[in-house]
Every structure is written in structure tokens, then in C-alpha cells.
Structure 1
Amino acid sequence: MSAPLASQHSSKEAVKSATVYAILICISSVHLMNDMMQSVVSALFPVLAESLKLSMAQIGWIAFTLNMTSSVMQPVVGLISDKKPNPWMLPIGMLSSMAGMVGLAFAPNFYLVLLAVVFVGLGSAVFHPEGSRVVHLAAGSRRAFSQSIYQVGGNFGQMLGPLMTLWIFIPLGQKGAVWGTLLAAAAIIVLMKVVPWYKSQLAQQAARIEQRKASGVAPRASLAPRVVGFALAILFFIVFARSWYAAAIGNFYQFFLVESYGITIKQAQIPLFLFMAAGVAGTFLGGILADRIGRKKMMLLSILGAAPFALALPHLPLPLVYPLIVLLGFILQSGFSVSVVYAQELMPGKVGTASGLITGLAFGMGGLGAVVLGHLADSRSLSFVMMACSVLPLIGMLAMLLPKDRKES
């Protein structure tokens, strides 16, 4: 290869491996607003439980409806977007969530709350696979780190749920959900910067594929379907454990605190906030560490490392709950974004499908967990639910069976 051609090739590779931080920050901020709108649903639980006289089982069904709508639709959207990506689906998803916010604010009964939650779930289902594709295109060579920036936005949005309960919904009641429409509007404005960039990247990606075909460069060999299927099955079990445990903390731990320690619902938001805030930091640092030590090791450290803290949490005196729940949230969430990247690298060329399967599965498993745990809480007790769920992170030992990391070319 001549010097000018070598220089040109090197320049192209540098551009390809560069991380586009402006786009990552934009899509992460939209992820924040999307997940804040989802957090409005769980943040309303104490208000809805009182104003609409809902049982723990009905609270579980609301969470189930939100999460299953996202779960079922995310892999479908991911599969469609892999075949024909459509940047304009991003703002369309935000419009669906906006409609859901209006519905939540004014729903007079349990069934209309469920309908409103369907719109929020659909908006999220459309956003997540397309958002992950944007991250993949902007990541360059730092895929785990870039995915962690994206997930930090979502985790930060979820983290604000307890604060919304404390500062918005307890004072304003159900109608406070109408403020969620401002989040959707802000997200659409930010996406007006992302959509044109996304379209240009898709065009460049299509041109590169055609160039490879014309030059006769063979694509990298894929893993055997049996190996991919086995690895995905292990990932599903890990996501199941994390999601059911997160469902127990996010939906019912506040009620457990009130029942077990005699604190108020306002005071119960503080440990919940600490868990989610620590999860934000864990997600960010987990992505940085995974690019250095590997995806598999990071996932194993994450969920298995959280097990001792999860087992101890239901038995602690209240003063020790606060520091332990910080450590628990940090360690548990440090591996989630890594599992998404690991799945993407198992399925090269199917970014939307891989992202939809993992993040969609997380929502779906969390939703199913909310229903099952809600019925258990009504039939047995909240203490039984928290103690039963504390063993779930031990399932993380299955990560030892995963194949070695496979970096995508």
C-alpha cells in the first residue's frame, strides 16, 4: 500500500473508531427524559394506591402493563429497525409517551390508568432499540463506555422517581403527571439534532457495506447458532435475576420500609433514591471497567458481587440500610449496560434485535416480577417477598458459563 493510500486508510479508521460525545450526550439526555416518564408511573404508586384505593396486586398489574408493553414490542421494533432503520421513530416514540402522561394525569379509574400506561410503554419500546443503534454508531472503539453513558441517562431518570413522589405527586396528587408532557417535548427538541446525524450515519454505513461487497472482503465469521443460543439463554437468566430483584426494590421496598421500620412514605423514598443514585454511578464506572477487563468478567463481578448485600438487606437495622443500599445499587447496576454490548457482539449486524432482547427482557421480567411479587405480598407478606428476592443475585454465578468476549469488527 502506497504512503498516501495508507495515510487515507488510517484516517478513515481513526474516524470510524472515534467516539462522538455530542451525540452520546444528546441521546443519553433523551434516555433520561424517557425513563423519567416511565418513573412517573412508579412514582405515582403511593398516590394511586390511596386515591383510587388500589391493592398491592393492582399496583403490580400497572407495573406489569408498563414493562410488558415495552418487553414485547422492543425486540419487534429492534428486528424491524435492523432491516430498515427509521430515525423518525425516535420522536414518534416520544409523542406516544406524551399521550400516556396526559392519560395518567386524568385517569379516573384503574383500567384507564392501565390504558395510559400502554402508551408510555409503547413510546419506550420504540425509543430503546433505536437509541441503542444511535449509541452503537457514535461509540467508535469504546462500546461498553458509550453504552454506559446511554444507560446512565436512563438510570438517572429512574433515580428521580422517588424525588418526584416526594416533591410533586404527594403535594399535587395524580394530576401532577401532566408535567411529564414537558419531558416529552424537551426530548423531541433534542432529537431534532440527533435525527439528521443518525440519517447521515446510516447512509455512510450502507456505503461501507456496498464497498466491502464490491472489493470482495469477506465478512467476519459468525459464532455457531448453538453457541449464540446458549450464551443468550445465560444472559436471559442473569437479566431475570437482576430485573426481579430490581422490581422488588423499585415497586415494593418503600412499603416494606414503612411496615418494618415505622417510617413515613416520604422517609421511605430516601433509601430508594440512594439505591437508584448509586446505580447511576455503577452503570457509568462499569462501562469504563468493562472496556479494560472484559464484558464477561464485569457481568460476573456485578450481579454475583451484589449477592451478599442483597442477602443482608432485609435483616439490617434502619441506620445500616442507608450505606448498604448504596453499595448494593452501585454493584448490581454496574453490569447492565455491559450485558447489552455483550449481546450486540454476539449478534453482529443485529444491534436493534440484540438491544431489544436484552433491554426489553429486562422490562418484561421486571413487569412479570411486579405482578408475582404483588400477589405474594398480598397473600403472604412484604417481608416474605423481600427475603425471597434476596437470593436472586446468586443466579449471577451462571455468568461463569458464558463464552469469552467477542469484539465486533
Structure 2
Amino acid sequence: MPRKSSITLLSVGHACVDVYQGAVASLVPFFVAERAYSYAAVSGIVLAASLLSSVTQPVFGAITDRWAVPWLLPVSTLIGGVGIALSGISGSYALTLVFVAISGVGVAAYHPESARVARLVSRGSHSSMAWFSLGGNVGFALAPLMIAAVVATGGLRFTPLLVLPALAGTVLCLPVLRALERGKAAGAAGRAPVGADDRASFVKLSLAVVCRSIVFIGLSTFISLYATQRMHGSSAAGTAALFVLYAGGAVGSVLGGNLANRWDRVTVSRWSYLLTAGAVAGVVFVPGPALYLFVALTSAGLYIPFSLQVTLGQDYLPSRVGTASGITLGLTVSVGGLVSPLIGAVADAASLRTALMPLILMPALCWLFFRTLPEPEVPRPGAAAPETREDPDAELITSRSDHR
């Protein structure tokens, strides 16, 4: 299978999984409207989606380092979809937490193995990994539209229809897995780069991703309610703000991969976070429709480094690519959900604006961490000479794949 076709299928499959991460925040206004949940209660639902995901991400990453488990892609996609599909059919808060947590486990199982497969297929190309990450951003962006189309039409009892993207994602990943299996049998699989682990840099990178996660999850949980307040009670305004937050990430992901081909990943990420700090301040303080502009800038700024952080983590820990992927793509991203109940509690006690103010500091902390990070010098991933000759695109992708 041509590399572009494989990356395209993996990207669409990624969208079919991450739509369920976005669906959790998108369901928050409907839980508030139909079940009269408080800010703290809906924050608990976001926490349920994040908690098991946070705990299990490193486990699945370690598994993928020890064994190749490509069957996790279709299975985890189904689990992620089924959990969200069941979340609205019971009025029980406890059952809602359980179903959302099950979905979180499915999402957790998907990301380390999918990142390993995407790296293998892309041979370490920043641009290809950016397109893979783009799929997840598109899934996030489509989540509020999907929820609005299904749940706003028939209420929470219509959530079983939300399993359809999972069924599509399960089917789409199968051709890629079959192609990888044939390539492995023919001895055509690319080799991962080798090198010494830089654990200190990986820890700093992980702390930066945690700070990024707090901003993104905090905003994705409450931006809909915040925009509704700012726009005088319009639920459409809240849905639009959440869509902009997710859609801006799609632009940022592709832009990040292209910028990294001109400058190094650390430099691109560092400046992106510095600009994001100002954008978050605009979201919190600037009144009127300008809110949407600052939401878009915040989203793009948070997602320009996203795929770059994944490949940086893999290059800092070349002997544990699965673990690095599980942490940078999953665990540290999920940690932001652990802070959501605190934001909700502050919002209940004071105001939503007050609760969102500390988020301005998070991108600044990311900038400080990236100031201390080196750009790793690693061998370029790719196939041996005979395999390069067999694949006419291999030399082009290898020559563009990053470390300029």
C-alpha cells in the first residue's frame, strides 16, 4: 500500500477515535440541561474519561514496546465508541461515569499502538506524523457538530447512534494492518532509529505536555458554557466556540509539521507556546465576538507543537517508542482532565472567568520548559537501500523527514 494511502487511512481512523474524546466535553451542556448537573458534576464526567485513560496509557505503551499488538487499533476504536454510545441512555450519574470511563480506556489503548504504526508507516517524517495528528484534531472538531446533530435532535437517549464513527474507524484501519503484516512477512518493514535515551529531556517534555493538557482540557470542558455566558445565553454560541477550539487544532497540526521542516521542533514549539499565552489571556478577558478569534489562535498555538512533541518524545526515548508515545500522546494529555474538577469547583464558588484565569500561566510554563530542551540528533528512520529502491517515495520522504 502506498505510504500516503496508509497515512490517510490512519488519519481518518484517528479522527474516528478522537471524536469520542471531543464528545465528552460536547455532551457537558446537555448533561447540565437535561439532568441539572453542577459544574463540579460535569467536571467529574470529564475526570472519569481521563482518569482510567491516564493510568492505562503507560501500560499500553509498555505493551507495544514489548510486543506488536496491531489488533488493538480496531478493538480499542470499538470500545471508545461503545462507551460514549451508552453514556446517555441511563439517568444514573454513576453509570454515566462508568460508560465514559470505558470509552477513556478504549482511547488510551488506541494511541500508543497507532503512533507506533504511524511512525513505522511514515518513517519518521514530521509532515506525515502531522497529517496523522490532524485526524485526531478533525475528530475533536467534528465532535460538537456530531453531538449537536444527534443529541440536540432527540436528547441524550439518542447517544447509541454515536457508535457509527467507531464502526467506520474499525473498518478503515484493517487495510493498513494487512499491508503491514505483508510487509513484515516480506522483510520490508522499516527500522526504528537507535540511540541513547535522554530521560531528563523526556521528563521536561512531559511536564510541558501536562501544562498544555491543562489548558486544552480546561477550555474544552468550559468554553461552551463560557461562550454561552458571554453571548447572553445562546447555546449556538457555545457550540460554535467549541467547534472553533477543535477546528483551530487541525490547522495548527499541519502548520506545525511544515514549520518543523524549516526550523527545528524545539524552536517551533517554544515560540508557539509563548504566543499562546497571550491568546489565552484574550479568551479570558477580551469581550464580545473577538472571543472566537482568540479561541482560534489559542487552539492553533496549542496544536502547532502537538505532533512535534510526539516525535520529540520518541527521539528522546528511542528504545521505548511505545512508552514515549503513550505518555506524550496519551497520559500527559489526559492529566488535564484531572484538573477539570478543580476548575469546576472554583467556577461554582466564584465565577467561570475566575476559574479560567490560571490557564494563562500554563503556556508560559511550557515555554520555560522548552527553553531547556535540546533538539535530539538521531539517525533518520527509514528502510535499507534495497527497500528504498523498492519504494520510489522512500528517498523523498527520508530526505524531507526532519532533522535539518
- Structure 2 contact 195–318 (Cα < 8 Å) conserved: no
Alpha carbon RMSD of aligned pairs, Å?
2.2
Equivalent of residue 174 in structure 2, options 192, 205, 209: 192
Q: Deviations over 1:136-161 (max 9, x none)?
A: 1111251x212111111011111122
Say if 1:355 and 1:85 are closer, same or farther in 2 by CA, change over 3 A: same
Q: Distance in 2 between matches of 1:350 and 1:137?
A: 14
1:103 aligns with 2:86: yes
Q: Distance in 2 between matches of 1:282 and 1:365?
A: 21
Say if 1:99 and 1:221 are closer, same or farther in 2 by CA, change over 3 A: closer
Say if 1:201 and 1:62 are closer, same or farther in 2 by CA, change over 3 A: farther
**Amino acid in the other structure paired with 1:183:** P
1:400 aligns with 2:362: no
Q: Deviations over 1:116-141 (max 9, x none)?
A: 11221111111111110111111125
Equivalent of residue 46 in structure 2, options 63, 68, 72: 63
Say if 1:119 and 1:203 are closer, same or farther in 2 by CA, change over 3 A: farther
Q: Give the stretch that moved more between structures: 267-276 or 352-361.
A: 267-276
Q: Deviations over 1:334-378 (max 9, x none)?
A: 001100100001111322111001122233222112122112211
Q: Distance in 1 between matches of 2:323 and 2:2?
A: 22
2:238 corresponds in structure 1 to 268
Note the 1:349-368 alignment, pairs <5 A.
349-368=319-338
1:27 corresponds in structure 2 to 10
1:334 aligns with 2:304: yes
Note the 1:374-389 alignment, pairs <5 A.
374-389=344-359
Query: Secondary structure of 2:70's match?
Result: coil
1:294 corresponds in structure 2 to 264
Q: Give the stretch that moved more between structures: 161-170 or 303-312.
A: 161-170
Q: Distance in 2 between matches of 1:275 and 1:362?
A: 19
2:200 corresponds in structure 1 to 230
1:4 corresponds in structure 2 to none
Q: Distance in 1 between matches of 2:100 and 2:20?
A: 10
Say if 1:406 and 1:50 are closer, same or farther in 2 by CA, change over 3 A: same
For these two proteins, the number of residue pairs brought into alignment is 379
1:80 aligns with 2:63: yes
Q: Distance in 2 between matches of 1:111 and 1:331?
A: 36
Q: Give the stretch that moved more between structures: 150-159 or 325-334.
A: 325-334
Q: Which runs of 5+ in 2 are unaligned?
A: 381-404
Report which of the two has the higher share of helix: 1
Q: Distance in 2 between matches of 1:99 and 1:309?
A: 36
Q: Distance in 1 between matches of 2:187 and 2:328?
A: 24
Q: Give the fraction of aligned pairs with identical amino acids, expressed as a percent.
A: 28
Say if 1:19 and 1:400 are closer, same or farther in 2 by CA, change over 3 A: farther
Q: Deviations over 1:144-189 (max 9, x none)?
A: 2121111110111111222234332222211232122111111111
Q: Which runs of 5+ in 1 are unaligned?
A: 1-17, 213-218
**Amino acid in the other structure paired with 1:164:** M
Equivalent of residue 94 in structure 1, options 77, 92, 102: 77
- Structure 2 contact 210–333 (Cα < 8 Å) conserved: no
- Structure 1 contact 340–359 (Cα < 8 Å) conserved: yes
- Structure 1 contact 239–361 (Cα < 8 Å) conserved: no
Say if 1:317 and 1:408 are closer, same or farther in 2 by CA, change over 3 A: same
1:180 corresponds in structure 2 to 162
- Structure 1 contact 103–112 (Cα < 8 Å) conserved: no
Q: Distance in 2 between matches of 1:322 and 1:259?
A: 14
Say if 1:189 and 1:208 are closer, same or farther in 2 by CA, change over 3 A: closer
- Structure 1 contact 137–201 (Cα < 8 Å) conserved: no
1:135 aligns with 2:109: no
Query: Secondary structure of 2:261's match?
Result: helix
**Amino acid in the other structure paired with 2:115:** S
Q: Distance in 1 between matches of 2:248 and 2:190?
A: 40
- Structure 1 contact 70–122 (Cα < 8 Å) conserved: yes
Query: Secondary structure of 1:391's match?
Result: helix
Structure 1 position 323, deviation (Å): 2.1
Say if 1:343 and 1:104 are closer, same or farther in 2 by CA, change over 3 A: same
Q: Distance in 2 between matches of 1:20 and 1:208?
A: 12
Structure 1 position 19, deviation (Å): 7.8
- Structure 1 contact 348–408 (Cα < 8 Å) conserved: no
Query: Secondary structure of 1:404's match?
Result: coil
Note the 1:233-248 alignment, pairs <5 A.
233-248=203-218
Q: Distance in 1 between matches of 2:187 and 2:350?
A: 55
- Structure 1 contact 169–177 (Cα < 8 Å) conserved: yes
Q: Give the stretch that moved more between structures: 307-316 or 123-132.
A: 307-316
TM-score, with structure 2 as normaliser: 0.88
Q: Deviations over 1:171-211 (max 9, x none)?
A: 221123212211111111112212212323455679887xx
Structure 1 position 24, deviation (Å): 0.6
Q: Distance in 1 between matches of 2:188 and 2:342?
A: 45
Q: Distance in 2 between matches of 1:208 and 1:186?
A: 28
Q: Distance in 2 between matches of 1:253 and 1:128?
A: 25
**Amino acid in the other structure paired with 1:63:** V
- Structure 1 contact 313–324 (Cα < 8 Å) conserved: yes
